[in-house]
Structure 1
Amino acid sequence: MENSGSTPQPINGRPQGRRQSILSEFLPESLPLPPSFLATSPIVREILTRDIAECSSEDDHHDLPFDSDSDSEQPQIVDAKLAFHPNGIAYGSGYSTIAIQGLDRPVPNPREVEDSLRAEASLLRDNAIIPPRHPRSQRNNIFWRLYRRVFSTKIKDHEDPEPIFQDSAAAETTPLLVDPHQESPSDEPLPTPPAEEIIERFEDAVAAHAIKTTWQREAKTLVQYAAPLIVAFLLHYSVTIGSVLTVGRLGMVELAAVNLATMTASITCYVPVQGLSTCLDTLCAQAYGSGHKHLVGLQAQRMTWLLWMLMIPIAVLWWFSEPILASMVPDRETASLAALFLRVLILGMPGVAALESGKRFLQSQGLFNATTYALLIGAPLSFLQNYLFVFKFGWNFGGAALAMAITQNLLPLLLVVYVRYVDGMQCWDGFSRKAFSNWGPMIKLALPGMIMIEAQFSVLEILTIAAGQFGTAQLAAQSILVTVTSTSFNIPFPLAIATSTRVANLIGAHLSDAARVTARVAIVAGLIVGLFNLTMFTTLNETIPRIFTEDEQVIGIAKQVILVCAVMQIFDALAAVSHGILRGVGHQAIGGYANLFSYYMVALPISLSTAFALGWKLSGLWAGLTVGLAVVSALELVYLYNADWESAVAQAEARMKSEDVMSEAKYTTV
């Protein structure tokens, strides 16, 4: 990677370097990266090359989905500039942290290419380079002009003079703008040019620096990307919410115990599983894009078996967890109930691993809605099971754990049904013994990301243990606060994923100005989301705790501390969005270092000092976390403000060219 203080190279003949970063002397682009941020392409190629070689042997030739010597069945992937890749999604991660993604550029699949073409066509229409979908309205009253000025995504409605689309194919000598008085002869919808023409015009327009965007276009795009993710995240986390809501009706001790149990389960199992399985984002996408579709299923199988084996020692730890938990919290009954909850949750372990692998298996094929469909069935059933097991059947605390375990196993089964009867079966070639081989490179690829994510999440476990030192009521209130803040975080986190995707696409298409517009829109959107959450927390500071429990002591603590959590919402949202922008421009290392510094060097010391030394108890724990998030958001926003975006474009272009060369070499050898 080039140092941000160096002179950026011209792109398409255009001199770059709008502004050099004033932080380059302190945070240079050549900053040594931890393993989780290193390009993983060599490891990916090693894994896929081994698998292809094994599957191409004479004994296993029947495993190949097509003849490698034939070009007729090779996937025809268009080299689209704005391929949509919302990979790395861990539905329901739900805490104040951002999962780190690698630098690899996934191979687009046909569904993503369609999304790419639609995005390119939208930008071309906005810039009057291809015809609009519908003829321009002849209305010209003040209200219609105001509406267009505020809501229109078209450049012509925000600039003067107004350009009009060109109605012939673009060429080197064809002007991008034509007669400004030309109008459509009828009110019939205008046809969209074919894909080849869209790609050609888009590339010509980028080369001529004729592509601009508006904040209206970027706001609309971010909403389109983020809305379905928000629904999916909230649906997935509702499984945990259902258990907490149900257990809260049983008593204060039970509410404290479920917080201790679920946080312990997250740190020891759920977060490591999510971290390890993120390597499938690259492996499955590359296998699908290379045409070896059966390897997508093989990679998912291999990861599932690895995770299941990993869960054996974790299950033993959970089964004998009571003495460990008793040493962490003073109340023996709370530790005993938390251990019971963990023992029952062992039944859900296989489903947790299968769900993470299954999501990546489907996402690599562009089937991003499959998990949402499963959640639309599984989440309501989870609430029903909680009611039946806890209240109707009288199984009390253990019934809530059983409902969660059943739901954890039900979700991957629903994905199997989707693959079998709807879509995705083309990448499944049956169970194979090869899933038990070639584990070394995959573990090497998966471990760094897991370690980084685990380091970020561990702070919350430390704070939960600290809360337990103040008594059962404080730990019960902590359960409410963690659940509420995790739920609210499932709005800015999907927004951050959408921002990362959009910024990366625009940077990859050499549209740094458009990427900056997206970044500004995302930051404003994050601020709006944070203010919305702050308003909800402050106005409903007593109503929200009463949803979870009837214990007045717990309600009194929670309604006081939730005001601190309300302030945190601003910085939580801004930190999420700014980290998403950093991922989009390929500067994940900055966000990773900022997160770790803010959590361990700022948030944790302040939390423990104010909670114990100053006697603020739970308020002190959350005050420290709020300060930490304020620091990380400030660091990332300052870095982004002073960043050299044109240099990011040059680096992205270099990475893409390097990956294209390596891909061509791989296809030649294969």
Structure 2
Amino acid sequence: MKSEKIETQQLLPKMDPKNFEIETVHKDHGTGKNIREKTWEESKKMWEIAAPAVLTTVAQFSIGFVTIAFVGHLGEVELAAVSVVQNVLEGFVYGIMLGMGSALETLCGQAVGAGQYDMLGIYTQRSCIITFITALLLLPLYIFTSPILNIFRQSKNISELAGKYALWVVPQLFAYALNFPIQKFLQAQSKIWVMTIISLVVLGFHVLLNWILVIKLEKGLLGAAIAENISWWLVVLAQIVYVVSGFFPDSWTGFSLSAFKSLFSFLKLSLASALMLCLELWYYTVVILMVGWLNNPEIAVDAISICMNLELWTLMVTLGFNAAISVRVSNELGANNPKAAKFSVIVTVLTSTVFGVIFTVAILATKDYFPRLFSDKPQVINETSKLGYFLATTIFLNSIQPVLHGVAVGAGWQWSVALINIGCYYVFGLPFGALLGYKLDLAGCLLQTIVLIWFVVGANWSKEVFTFISSSTLNQW
């Protein structure tokens, strides 16, 4: 623990508290420049991070999205089974793995800022060890998927088929375990475009692979599972090869026994971010399980899953803005620029909202047509179309909420947002959702967005600078 604290202290920026008030008063963002120039400059900084982040998240999420599109034409039960595995099991695991890897966002970012590049490789190896052990602990969920779904009173047909599919996609579990730590390693060094290219190439290959295995060779769910496993491991292996091939002589010096030190302390670093993220992702898991209790669950799960996959696909776009604003806010607060941090929030929220409007209009215009991409069954198409207005509204709210989420991460409000998520989604959203179904996914999201807007608007950014510097990560660790 002592060695971990020494490492942390070496990475934290040193700043004389006496200079804080003077710098805050006199340092202004873009003094003498008009609002148009300032907005253009901030937009360029935002897009440098957001553009590759958007493409990467969309491409990787689309691997599962493409699978759903092909499986949907096999039958109602097949679509429902794969949807349950993706939204319940893999959604649950995805949240944990991403949360476990989130410790690197702080540590690697500080290491780069402090010029301690040799620590990046060690931190990444530590994270891989933790996520791999976590994957082993989560393995029983894949093995016992069918009985677990039966306990939650899911349809017997769906449960049995979902159990088979879950066993077939076990390799993805361990791909997740390595993917997120490696991603954070690359992101910390602004090598996001490499991840983007890898993800886009693999996505194109994944479409071809599904067409061959599911359509031409008629391998059904097994073919879909094989395609997903191959695609995810191609992403991971390509990133690993890039990291260890000599492109990072300062930050990757080979495997080190130091990676096994202070593992427990390293694990604790990600708890707040992991909790904040998991509480939101797991909400979708619970909603799918609740839908499985309805009459005619195959049709209901299919309709909800189609809507949720579209909602989550658009959410991947706004997660790019989430990453951008998180970096921008933390950088500006760390550089003692409260006005710049606040201005960055405004620009990013407005940009993401424009995309939200575009997606909303697209859903409303195609609500009678987009369900046909996922199913040939008239009942499924009809039920999905009925949810079009609620889906469009939720997508619009999701263009704002993740950006505010990123502000919270950049400002170090993880525990506060975790509590907000509990209140909005679990105390408010789920009880009403039990009565009104998918429509209250909208209510929980709306309430959370309102609370986060109030939280951000009411923030004292000058005070946040001092809090960020004087009592940031070190005191929490």
Provide TM-score, normalisation by structure 2: 0.87
The residue number in structure 1 matching 2:242 is 418
Indicate conservation of the 8 Å contact 2:325/2:344, yes or no: yes
Which of 77, 80, 89 is 1:253 aligned to? 77
The residue number in structure 2 matching 1:123 is none
1:275-301 deviation per Cα after TM superposition (whole angstroms, max 9, x unaligned): 111112233344555565444323322
Structure 2 CA distance for aligned equivalents of residues 519 and 285 of structure 1 = 20
Structure 2 CA distance for aligned equivalents of residues 337 and 539 of structure 1 = 34
The residue number in structure 2 matching 1:468 is 292
Which of 270, 287, 310 is 1:484 aligned to? 310
Structure 2 CA distance for aligned equivalents of residues 353 and 414 of structure 1 = 15
The reply to whether residue 531 of structure 1 matches residue 352 of structure 2 is no
Structure 2 CA distance for aligned equivalents of residues 602 and 632 of structure 1 = 10
Cα 1:282–1:220 change in 2 (3 A) is closer
Which of 554, 557, 568 is 2:383 aligned to? 557
The residue number in structure 2 matching 1:630 is 446
The reply to whether residue 311 of structure 1 matches residue 132 of structure 2 is no
Compute the displacement of 1:434 (Å): 4.2
Which of 449, 455, 458 is 1:639 aligned to? 455
The reply to whether residue 592 of structure 1 matches residue 418 of structure 2 is yes
Structure 1 CA distance for aligned equivalents of residues 471 and 271 of structure 2 = 23
The residue number in structure 2 matching 1:403 is 227
Amino acid at match of 2:70: T
Structure 1 CA distance for aligned equivalents of residues 12 and 365 of structure 2 = 44
Compute the displacement of 1:44 (Å): 8.4
Which structure has greater helix proportion?
2
Indicate conservation of the 8 Å contact 1:249/1:549, yes or no: yes
Structure 2 CA distance for aligned equivalents of residues 573 and 209 of structure 1 = 28
Amino acid at match of 1:249: H
1:52-90 deviation per Cα after TM superposition (whole angstroms, max 9, x unaligned): 9xxxxxxxxxxxxxxxxxxxxxxxxxxxxxxxxxxxxxx
The residue number in structure 2 matching 1:568 is 394
1:139-162 deviation per Cα after TM superposition (whole angstroms, max 9, x unaligned): xxxxxxxxxxxxxxxxxxxxxxxx
The reply to whether residue 541 of structure 1 matches residue 357 of structure 2 is no
Indicate conservation of the 8 Å contact 1:326/1:332, yes or no: yes
Compute the displacement of 1:481 (Å): 0.9
Structure 1 CA distance for aligned equivalents of residues 357 and 29 of structure 2 = 40
Compute the displacement of 1:337 (Å): 1.4
Cα 1:513–1:289 change in 2 (3 A) is closer
Structure 1 CA distance for aligned equivalents of residues 3 and 310 of structure 2 = 39
Structure 2 CA distance for aligned equivalents of residues 43 and 561 of structure 1 = 55
Structure 1 CA distance for aligned equivalents of residues 347 and 72 of structure 2 = 39
The reply to whether residue 210 of structure 1 matches residue 31 of structure 2 is yes
The residue number in structure 2 matching 1:232 is 56
Indicate conservation of the 8 Å contact 2:67/2:224, yes or no: yes
The residue number in structure 1 matching 2:265 is 441
1:274-331 deviation per Cα after TM superposition (whole angstroms, max 9, x unaligned): 1111112233344555565444323322322332222223223312221222333542
Structure 2 CA distance for aligned equivalents of residues 49 and 506 of structure 1 = 20
1:467-498 deviation per Cα after TM superposition (whole angstroms, max 9, x unaligned): 11221111111221111000111222222322
Structure 1 CA distance for aligned equivalents of residues 207 and 374 of structure 2 = 14
Instruction: Name structure 1 gaps, 5 residues minimum.
Output: 1-41, 53-103, 108-201, 611-620, 663-670
Structure 1 CA distance for aligned equivalents of residues 118 and 343 of structure 2 = 41
The reply to whether residue 46 of structure 1 matches residue 5 of structure 2 is yes
Indicate conservation of the 8 Å contact 1:303/1:357, yes or no: yes
The residue number in structure 1 matching 2:185 is 361
Cα 1:631–1:207 change in 2 (3 A) is closer
The residue number in structure 1 matching 2:204 is 380
1:372-420 deviation per Cα after TM superposition (whole angstroms, max 9, x unaligned): 1221221111112111221222211111111111112111110122234
Compute the displacement of 1:571 (Å): 1.9
The reply to whether residue 336 of structure 1 matches residue 156 of structure 2 is no
Amino acid at match of 1:427: S
Structure 2 CA distance for aligned equivalents of residues 609 and 508 of structure 1 = 46
Amino acid at match of 1:503: V
Structure 2 CA distance for aligned equivalents of residues 581 and 548 of structure 1 = 35
Which of 108, 112, 117 is 1:284 aligned to? 108
Structure 2 CA distance for aligned equivalents of residues 547 and 582 of structure 1 = 36
The reply to whether residue 273 of structure 1 matches residue 97 of structure 2 is yes
Structure 2 CA distance for aligned equivalents of residues 406 and 337 of structure 1 = 21
Indicate conservation of the 8 Å contact 1:205/1:211, yes or no: no
Amino acid at match of 1:464: I
Identity %: 23
Indicate conservation of the 8 Å contact 2:24/2:336, yes or no: no
- The 3-state SS of whatever aligns with 1:550 is coil
Amino acid at match of 1:597: G
- The 3-state SS of whatever aligns with 2:253 is coil
Query: Over aligned residues, Cα RMSD in angstroms?
Result: 3.1
Which of 463, 467, 476 is 1:651 aligned to? 467
Structure 2 CA distance for aligned equivalents of residues 296 and 515 of structure 1 = 26
The reply to whether residue 299 of structure 1 matches residue 123 of structure 2 is yes
Indicate conservation of the 8 Å contact 1:281/1:364, yes or no: yes
- The 3-state SS of whatever aligns with 1:423 is coil
Structure 2 CA distance for aligned equivalents of residues 204 and 463 of structure 1 = 48
Indicate conservation of the 8 Å contact 1:214/1:517, yes or no: no
Amino acid at match of 1:520: I
Structure 2 CA distance for aligned equivalents of residues 435 and 214 of structure 1 = 47
Structure 2 CA distance for aligned equivalents of residues 492 and 458 of structure 1 = 19
Instruction: Name structure 2 gaps, 5 residues minimum.
Output: 15-22
Compute the displacement of 1:499 (Å): 2.5
Which of 590, 597, 603 is 2:429 aligned to? 603
Amino acid at match of 1:344: W
Indicate conservation of the 8 Å contact 2:24/2:462, yes or no: no
The reply to whether residue 348 of structure 1 matches residue 164 of structure 2 is no
Indicate conservation of the 8 Å contact 2:117/2:251, yes or no: yes
Structure 2 CA distance for aligned equivalents of residues 220 and 294 of structure 1 = 30
Structure 1 CA distance for aligned equivalents of residues 155 and 350 of structure 2 = 45
Structure 2 CA distance for aligned equivalents of residues 439 and 237 of structure 1 = 30
The residue number in structure 2 matching 1:96 is none
Cα 1:633–1:407 change in 2 (3 A) is same
1:314-356 deviation per Cα after TM superposition (whole angstroms, max 9, x unaligned): 2233122212223335422211111111101112222221111
Amino acid at match of 1:251: G
